[in-house]
Amino acid sequence: MDKEISLCVISKDQGKFLQGFLKHIKNFIDEIVIIDTGSTDNSLEIIKEFDCNLIQVKQGEMGMSGLRNIYLEKAKKEWIVVLDPD
């Protein structure tokens, strides 16, 4: 029986890496949850292109542990993988 996998990512201005990252990993996971902390590059367009569950949070509103708690709440699959796009 296959396990269902959520990919969770915290990102800001990672457009340089996101497209290749998401393209290569999308076949191995069932859900993508990305927290964006205020990107000003093309990151948001790339995230939308890959139909990710996007959560936007302003930089500095909370620390990394708070951001992790958000994606852990939003991820719906049995297993969670946490990766950085770079």
Angle at alpha carbon of residue 77, lines to 72 and 79, rounded to 5°: 80
Tell me if residue 49 falls in helix, strand or coil: helix
3-state per-residue secondary structure call for 9-45: EEECCCHHHHHHHHHHHHHHCCEEEEEECCCCCCHHH
In the predicted model, what is the mean pLDDT of residues 5-31?
A: 96
Per-residue pLDDT tens digits for 25-62: 999 999 999 999 999 999 999 999 999 999 999 977 78
The model's pTM is: 0.90
- As to burial, measured by CB atoms within 10 angstroms (0-12 exposed, 13-18 middle, 19+ buried), residue 66 is exposed
- State mean pLDDT over 4-23: 96
pLDDT, position 2? 66
